[in-house]
Amino acid sequence: MKILRGDRFLSSAQCQVLRGIAILGIFLHNICHLLRGSNEENEFYFIAERASNMWNYWTGGNIDAFFPLQFLSFFGHYGVPIFLFLSGYGLVMKYERGGGSSRVGVWQFLGSHWLKLFKLMILCFVLTMITYLACGLSWHGWIEYLAQATMLSNIVPSLCDSQTPSPYWFFGVMVEVYVIYRLLIFPFHDKRQSIWRWLLPLLLVVLAWLPQVFMEHHHRMLVYVRHNASIAMLPFALGVVVARYGFPQMPRWSLAVTSVVMLPLLALFSVNYQLWLWSPVPVIAGSVAFVKLLEPCGGLLRSCVVSPLRQVGMLSSMVFVVHSIPRILIYESVLKYHKGLYLIDYAWLALYIVLTLVLAWCYKKIMDKLLAAEPHYKLTH
């Protein structure tokens, strides 16, 4: 069986399409799950009633005109594991495939990645904080904001209960992931016959998973654990292992079956706590299969689906840092007064999408100007 490695498994263009899918899920989820009448998600902790409501909606003949809103509300946050998978995949591609990048020192690696994340988020973090204050929303205080702005808030248990502004918790996770990669995973990259080259990433998955097995009814503890690297190890390690060892080439019919089957499998994983801990696996498998299935397509499908997803993927890091601003403004001015789901919500959602993408494009232009001396700047690899 032919094994696809490196760019032959996932090209740069395919990674951008995956980023497009992931960021659409994340920033649409972040507004849909606020709507009254939508099914709440299980992201940082597991509530059986929420899973039951989702399952009944899917299987009990309750699907209605609000299915897209319900779907994004419950499942949209799974864009995060896709980003983490791509981060593991991209770091291996950049730092383990020879060349000068493989000789980067520990402090140089960690410092450069921390600084890139900080430069990307700090301006928009301040603007988001100002938006929160202008809308009269509650906030923790300057010490808490400073901890989040420096990407250290994840290690403080009291700050994980209510991260405000909410999306920026992810930057702290990425800092932890970079530390783990550089100190524990990267040192074994050139030892091709060493068992640790593949065993260590899998051991990290087990170490992250094992404590969570016993936390189903300890929500505060689980929230804290999953605001840190534990939530990242499974998808990140999958990205590292696939990038290092490749994956068997799949015929198109197999890609089609995988992309279809993984969605109901994800729903099934979502109704049981122990399976829920492994739910990133069907998300990543289905998304990668779907993107690889789309790649050879041309004509209308390419121009209406693949190309727009790729363009959104190229803006994904900017969309992530800016989307809180239009979300806060639209929700606080209109959507929070709705007592249920209404068809007009789709119009407000369309406005939210347009404002977010325009703001992300403008923010990219600003960052390109500010970081003109760093032509290879990216959020994650």
Q: Round to whole Å and give the CA distance between 30 and 356.
A: 12
- Using pLDDT thresholds of 50, 70 and 90, give the confidence band for residue 165: low
- Using DSSP's 3-state secondary structure scheme, residue 334 falls into coil
- Using pLDDT thresholds of 50, 70 and 90, give the confidence band for residue 136: confident
Tell me what pLDDT residue 132 has.
84
Mean pLDDT, rounded, for 103-128: 91
Question: Phi and psi for 247 in degrees, rounded to 5?
Answer: -150, 145
Q: Round to whole Å and give the CA distance between 305 and 151.
A: 35
**Residue in this structure with the two tokens 């202008």, named with its chain if needed:** 134
Mean pLDDT, rounded, for 24-45: 94
Give the model confidence (pLDDT) of 234-258 as tens digits: 999 999 999 999 999 999 999 999 9
- Using pLDDT thresholds of 50, 70 and 90, give the confidence band for residue 101: low
Q: Round to whole Å and give the CA distance between 344 and 337.
A: 13
Q: Are 55 and 267 in contact (CB under 8 A)?
A: yes
Tell me what pLDDT residue 177 has.
97
- Does the pLDDT value for residue 91 go beyond 60? yes
Cα dihedral 177, 181, 279, 13 sign: positive
- Using DSSP's 3-state secondary structure scheme, residue 340 falls into coil
- Using pLDDT thresholds of 50, 70 and 90, give the confidence band for residue 376: very low
**Residue in this structure with the two tokens 């009269």, named with its chain if needed:** 136
Considering only residues 238 and 130, tell me which one the structure prediction assigns the higher pLDDT: 238
Q: Which amino acid is at 182?
A: R
Mean pLDDT, rounded, for 156-160: 78
Tell me what pLDDT residue 378 has.
44
- Using pLDDT thresholds of 50, 70 and 90, give the confidence band for residue 377: very low
Tell me what pLDDT residue 140 has.
65
- Does the pLDDT value for residue 162 go beyond 70? no
- Does the pLDDT value for residue 379 go beyond 60? no
Considering only residues 368 and 191, tell me which one the structure prediction assigns the higher pLDDT: 368
- Return the minimum-mean-pLDDT range out of 34-38, 244-248, 375-379: 375-379
Which one, of 1, 3, 2, lies nearest residue 241 by Cα?
A: 3
Q: Round to whole Å and give the CA distance between 188 and 182.
A: 10
- Does the pLDDT value for residue 70 go beyond 90? yes
Mean pLDDT, rounded, for 311-340: 95
User: Quick one: what percent of the chain has pLDDT higher than 70?
Assistant: 93
- Does the pLDDT value for residue 375 go beyond 60? no
- Does the pLDDT value for residue 178 go beyond 90? yes
Q: Which residues are CB-neighbours of 325 under 8 A, at least 6 positions away?
A: 124, 127, 128, 131, 359
Average pLDDT over the chain reads 90
Tell me what pLDDT residue 163 has.
61
Mean pLDDT, rounded, for 273-292: 97
Q: Are 31 and 352 in contact (CB under 8 A)?
A: yes
Q: What is the pTM of this model?
A: 0.94
Mean pLDDT, rounded, for 311-338: 95
Give the model confidence (pLDDT) of 198-231 as tens digits: 899 999 999 999 999 999 999 999 999 999 999 9
Mean pLDDT, rounded, for 143-152: 83
Tell me what pLDDT residue 373 has.
47
